[in-house]
């Protein structure tokens, strides 16, 4: 497709509206953050230069802010890793089970897409209620089969278990829908050829479907990584970041610092480093996919 593009710098005019909006909603706010990140204040709007002080604070694992940041980062990375490891294979499996023809397709798609359209705080409310040890079906059920210590607000393992199951419930559908779209794009000829060769189900999956799904899977993994790395509302509603600090992910910790404690300097440095990490991961994914694309077309 790229060869058919025409070189014309006037195309910039088409991009101006988007640029204005995104600059307004991205760059201007970021300038404020940058500003706070290098200054300190004594209150009353008196700011003075603080250089890289906040950043040194943040990246030094012996300071309190440094410890907080490291802890939240580690928890967030573990959480992302766990939910990706569960959601990607499960999503692929579900996509293979979606019916191919008839009225069932619509019905199944609607039910699958449902969790994606529930406001994040309602997702949190649903799971908060569902896992309550006294009145929730899952909570009571788990206690009944012997997990007597199950308590989201007091036991870290229970809190993590709940958040992971909740995320799988909430987002596996997205992976499944992506894969379903990818599967639909595979021409019938491939399946016919496989049938002629007498390939079994597993061979069709590993030799045809999985390679063809590679691109959508990369998009799915990127979206899920970013989603889980930015997660805020759902864990905030279910656990509030607790018990203790057990489920204080980066966003929760940052909001606590910025809006709760109004610790502007530290929060600004935190924001920038956090944003930088997501950008780097995003960039690595993009270069990897474009590189892989180039190889494929070569």
**Shortest CB 157 distance to another protein, Å:** 20
The encoded tokens of residue 57 equal: 């604070």
Cα distances (angstroms) measured from residue 163 to each of 159, 171, 246, 247, 254: 6, 12, 11, 9, 19
Closest CB to another protein among 207 and 215?
215
Closest CB to another protein among 192 and 290?
290
**Shortest CB 293 distance to another protein, Å:** 10
Instruction: Identify the residue whose tokens are 């109004």.
Output: 262
Cα–Cα distance measured from residue 160 to residue 245, given in angstroms and rounded to the nearest whole number: 12
Residue pair 197/126 in contact by the 8 Å Cβ criterion: no
**Shortest CB 145 distance to another protein, Å:** 14
Cα–Cα distance measured from residue 162 to residue 121, given in angstroms and rounded to the nearest whole number: 15
Name the 3-class secondary structure at 48: strand
Cα–Cα distance measured from residue 146 to residue 149, given in angstroms and rounded to the nearest whole number: 9
**Shortest CB 215 distance to another protein, Å:** 6
**Shortest CB 39 distance to another protein, Å:** 14
**Shortest CB 197 distance to another protein, Å:** 19
Closest CB to another protein among 193 and 259?
259
Closest CB to another protein among 12 and 62?
12
The encoded tokens of residue 42 equal: 């004594």
The encoded tokens of residue 151 equal: 């308590």
Cα distances (angstroms) measured from residue 29 to each of 124, 180, 194: 28, 38, 55
Closest CB to another protein among 62 and 68?
68
Closest CB to another protein among 50 and 91?
91
């Amino acid at each position: 497709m790229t060869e058919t593009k025409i070189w014309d710098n006037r195309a910039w005019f088409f991009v101006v509206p988007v640029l204005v909006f995104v600059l307004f909603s991205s760059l201007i706010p970021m300038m404020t953050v940058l500003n706070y990140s290098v200054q300190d204040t004594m209150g009353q709007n008196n700011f003075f230069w603080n250089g890289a002080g906040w950043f040194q604070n943040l990246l030094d694992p012996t300071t309190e802010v440094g410890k907080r940041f490291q802890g939240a980062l580690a928890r967030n990375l573990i959480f992302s890793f766990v939910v990706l490891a569960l959601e990607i294979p499960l999503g692929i499996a579900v996509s293979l089970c979606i019916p191919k023809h008839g009225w069932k397709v619509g019905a199944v798609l609607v039910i699958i897409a449902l969790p994606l359209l529930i406001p994040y705080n309602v997702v949190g409310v649903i799971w908060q209620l569902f896992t309550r040890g006294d009145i929730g079906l899952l909570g009571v059920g788990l206690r009944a089969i012997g997990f007597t210590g199950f308590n989201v607000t007091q036991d870290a393992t229970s809190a993590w278990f709940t958040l992971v199951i909740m995320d799988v419930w909430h987002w596996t559908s997205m992976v499944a829908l992506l894969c379903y779209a990818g599967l639909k794009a595979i021409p019938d000829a491939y399946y016919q050829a496989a049938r002629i060769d007498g390939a079994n189900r597993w061979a069709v999956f590993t030799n045809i479907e999985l390679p063809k799904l590679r691109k959508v899977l990369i998009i799915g993994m990127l979206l899920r990584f970013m989603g889980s790395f930015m997660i805020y509302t759902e864990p905030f509603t279910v656990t509030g970041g607790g018990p203790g600090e057990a489920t204080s992910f980066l966003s929760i910790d940052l909001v606590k610092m910025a809006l709760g404690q109004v610790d502007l300097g530290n929060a600004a440095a935190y924001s920038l480093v956090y944003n930088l990490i997501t950008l780097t991961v995003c960039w690595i994914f993009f270069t990897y996919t474009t590189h892989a694309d180039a190889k494929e077309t070569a």
